[in-house]
Structure 1
Amino acid sequence: MPSPETSPEFEALLDYLKHYQGCDLTGYKRSSLMRRFEHRMRSIKIDSYQCYLQYLQQHSEEYLALLNDVLINFTSFFRDPDAWSYLANEIIPKIIAQKQPNEPIRVWSAGCAAGQEIYSLLLLLAEILGIEACLERVQCYATDADAVAIQQARKGIYSELEISGISPNLLKKYFEQTQQGYVFHSKLRRTIIFSQHNLEKNAPISKIDLLICRNVLIYFNPETQVSILVRFHFALKNTGFLFLGKSEVLVNRREIFTPVDLKHRIYTKGLHLSVEDHLSINPKSFRKPLTDRPLPIQNYFWQAAFESSPNAQFAVDLNGYLIAANEQANLLFGLTLNDWNRPFQDLEPGKLVAAHTSAKITANRRVLLKNIEWNTSQGTQCFDVAIVPVFNHRKQLIGSTLTFVVQGVTVSLEAWQNAGSRR
């Protein structure tokens, strides 16, 4: 085979993985990378990169087998040290600075495997905040689809080889050496909630300040990657950050994430989610169209208006179930995808409405509720709530929309109601 530094066939292979599979391996050292590829190729009796590219294109299952061979040895504490240094020096201080002194900091390691990355992050937070403050403020979630990996991560026990990336002073401070191996700090370990979680199907954890998912997306096809990224957007606060792996390329058709530092794969929220984005993660919430014809431009206009409204808006079907909520509604009431298709009356905004009216929210008339107070740990907010019936083209009632307007923010809803009564 050509030498590692002069192989156009190998570069073509990497280019295919980057642009057609969303897996960018071009940042890895060529000599070690090529050894891993050649090991895989020998196992299936292929002796050229060009033939292996053709094999990859014809056998979809080979891609996952290749990743297992190539990336299996790259998992470690503080994998890609430069990226972790940037996280410690630039991103974590920003997260802390935008918080009140006692406000919780919520982090999620999605696809945590054996736990090295969630422990790496918790170690950094403890160094920056201090161990006691970290114990009081930091809420950690670590999830993986593999139940065995979760059990291993929960134990937090690592071999001498596995902790080789940790400096001696940090090792002494945060690990206890036992006969079984090096055990991560017991009190800090208990702050982490470990759970089995399927990124394709399960609802994301909400109100996250920092979401770490490194070299996990590359194991999914591009369509599933799009769906998972939408879930991540849903999970993050507007001020939150997404930390991906060195091998990953964002494949979303819309720029719902904006790079903060592309080299280190750190992003923040970009565009708002669209109805189409929501459909990619919750298709059962909507009936399938009777035809495959594209929606009229007017429909897209009203969809965009719903999504981009500065007011919290909900759509409830005729049976009283939540079928849509815009981003402002999700942020205001802390909703997750698990709340879709639930009875609206069981959710916090539904309880507020029910406490101020006995009228059905899917009644055949407009309802305006004034001065609804919502008491939370953050204080009291006061809303005006507009409930509007929705009819189909046959003038049959199909549900309602509810708009929560924070008092003093927008025009009076009385004017809206009066205008509606004159129509």
Structure 2
Amino acid sequence: MNSPQITPEFEALLDYLKHERGCDLTGYKRATLMRRFEYRMQSLEIGSYQGYLQYLRSHSEEYLALLEVVLINVTSFFRDQETWDYLAAEVIPQIIASKQPDEPIRVWSAGCATGQEIYSLLILLAEAIGIESCVQRVQCYATDVDEAILAQARQATFSDLRITNVPSDWLQKYFQATEQGYVFHPSLRRTVVFGRHDLVKDAPMSRIDLLICRNVLIYFNLETQASLLVRFHFALKTTGFLFLGKSETLILDRKIFTPINLKHRIYAKGLNLELKDHLSLDFKLRQQENILTIQKHFWQTATETSPIAQFAVDAHDRLIGANEQANLLFGLTLDDWKHPFYELEPGKLIASHTSRKFNTYPYHSVVLKDVQRNTPQGTQYFEVTIAPVLNAKRQLLGITLAFLDQTNCKQLAQQLQWADAELERMSECLEATQSELEVAHQKMQLLDQARGLSRDEES
């Protein structure tokens, strides 16, 4: 294969990639594409485009190997300059106009590679609202599955070759020349949070104003692409924008994205997600399921280990739950669960303190004080809280009962009452003694006076 020529076989190959794999390479220069395809075909010793098409169809892994060859240097500053010019002139002003002056602007670069695209966007935002405002308002998330690439992106240091597309005035304004290379503006760099993220498995970011995901979808099959686009729809705000790569085409059953500019692959949110779309958000369901499982386990453990005896009784007066403390306190056995709650000892204690039945507490809790239980070891005192369990329609499902042991408090109160009584008795004795002392003192004074008069008469 010498000089590349456009052939129906090559167009059929591109057509297959576009419609079967979701990778639209038709916008690329044919000569460049054909050279890269032929390089890959030679390594496999395949001599025709038709033969390579058959190989692609029978070897699913070959698709990714081809992309590695075709999409060389897939990221750079302001790649596809016209697209970035359109973004700066049309999209960014709309995002800014939709915001309050101090409201955050949230952007997400999914598949950020070494970071040139997120840094390119920051330059455009800084030009639009100023560096200081950009530092204060813009929140950037840059994610990729490759930790090594993320490490490079965090360094924000680029060689002379990497910054060739940056205009000279912006190079001076947003980069600092060092021995290691050109370092991106430190303050703007700190607005970016880099993190490992698997688009297929991990939950997307949320409330995003602009989502950049260029030449990433083409690495996935059509089914996965559709799933990812649902996730992107979920991630974006109602006024948000999706910015895809030049080689990508949206292939969806429903138009959940509306093209703003097909040439530049910029889209806005279209139709709302349907139930099946929400059900496909596995990350959300799994996360909710995990949270509910954790919560359920937490409350079960907290109830079971609580030092307060707790019971659950349904609307038919059947015991359906009792924690460890309740079982220990009342010595419940499996046989006890077969009987109505009012026939069990804790039920009888409640019945002796109220004439109301359990199912007559539908709207508020009831607290019974000084519920006494006589045992061989002595009298126990409880404060019992009876709380209704209602469903969403305010229908009574049952009640919960919590027996708070107040025996020690009651004993202390009795001791305090005895001490008060003893103190009062002693106070009365003291007063009586003091009265006697006063009477004796008065008698002594009278006796002294009588003795004084007797001496005066003798003299």
> 3-state DSSP class of the match of 1:107?
strand
Residues 70 and 345 of structure 1: CA distance in aligned 2, closer, same or farther (over 3 Å): closer
Q: Report the Cα distance in structure 2 between the residues aligned to 1:54 and 1:358, rounded to whole angstroms.
A: 73
Letter in 1 for 2:109: S
Q: Give 2:291's match in structure 1, choosing from 342, 346, 351.
A: 342
Aligned to 2:433: none
Query: Normalized per residue, which structure has more helix?
Result: 2
Aligned to 1:263: 263
> 3-state DSSP class of the match of 1:198?
coil
Shift of 1:178: 1.1
Question: Any stretches of 5+ residues in structure 1 without a counterpart?
Answer: 286-336, 347-356, 368-387, 390-395, 397-423
Task: Deviation per CA, 1:32-67: give whole Å up to 9, x if none.
Answer: 111111111111111111111111011000000000
TM-score for the superposition, normalised by structure 1: 0.69
Letter in 1 for 2:19: H
Q: Which moved more, 1:88-97 or 1:173-182?
A: 173-182
Aligned to 1:281: 281
Whether 2:422 is the aligned partner of 1:366: answer no
Letter in 2 for 1:116: Q
Whether 2:188 is the aligned partner of 1:161: answer no
Whether 2:215 is the aligned partner of 1:226: answer no
Letter in 1 for 2:125: L
Aligned to 1:123: 123
Map 1:239-250 onto structure 2 (within 5 A). 239-250=239-250
Residues 208 and 56 of structure 1: CA distance in aligned 2, closer, same or farther (over 3 Å): same
Percent of aligned pairs with the same amino acid? 64
Letter in 2 for 1:39: Y
Aligned to 1:73: 73
Q: Report the Cα distance in structure 2 between the residues aligned to 1:257 and 1:6, rounded to whole angstroms.
A: 33
2:150/2:195 contact within 8 Å kept: yes
Task: Deviation per CA, 1:148-203: give whole Å up to 9, x if none.
Answer: 11111011111111111111111111111111111111111011001000000111
Q: Report the Cα distance in structure 2 between the residues aligned to 1:206 and 1:237, rounded to whole angstroms.
A: 8
Letter in 2 for 1:366: K
Letter in 1 for 2:114: A
Aligned to 1:102: 102
Whether 2:145 is the aligned partner of 1:140: answer no
Letter in 2 for 1:342: I
> 3-state DSSP class of the match of 2:291?
coil
Q: Which moved more, 1:1-10 or 1:58-67?
A: 1-10
Residues 3 and 233 of structure 1: CA distance in aligned 2, closer, same or farther (over 3 Å): same
Residues 283 and 127 of structure 1: CA distance in aligned 2, closer, same or farther (over 3 Å): closer
> 3-state DSSP class of the match of 1:31?
helix
> 3-state DSSP class of the match of 1:183?
strand
Shift of 1:339: 5.0
Shift of 1:364: 3.6
TM-score for the superposition, normalised by structure 2: 0.64
Residues 342 and 29 of structure 1: CA distance in aligned 2, closer, same or farther (over 3 Å): same
> 3-state DSSP class of the match of 1:342?
helix
Shift of 1:74: 3.5
Shift of 1:218: 0.6
What is the root-mean-square deviation in Å for CA atoms of aligned residues?
A: 2.6
Task: Deviation per CA, 1:390-413: give whole Å up to 9, x if none.
Answer: xxxxxx9xxxxxxxxxxxxxxxxx
> 3-state DSSP class of the match of 1:258?
strand
Letter in 2 for 1:73: N
Q: Report the Cα distance in structure 1 between the residues aligned to 2:173 and 2:161, rounded to whole angstroms.
A: 18
2:14/2:25 contact within 8 Å kept: yes
Whether 2:47 is the aligned partner of 1:20: answer no
Letter in 2 for 1:6: I
Task: Deviation per CA, 1:295-329: give whole Å up to 9, x if none.
Answer: xxxxxxxxxxxxxxxxxxxxxxxxxxxxxxxxxxx
Q: Report the Cα distance in structure 2 between the residues aligned to 1:6 and 1:192, rounded to whole angstroms.
A: 44
> 3-state DSSP class of the match of 2:6?
coil
Letter in 2 for 1:267: Y
Shift of 1:284: 9.0
Shift of 1:358: 9.0
Shift of 1:345: 12
Q: Which moved more, 1:3-12 or 1:45-54?
A: 3-12
Whether 2:56 is the aligned partner of 1:56: answer yes
Shift of 1:361: 12
Letter in 1 for 2:124: L
> 3-state DSSP class of the match of 1:252?
coil
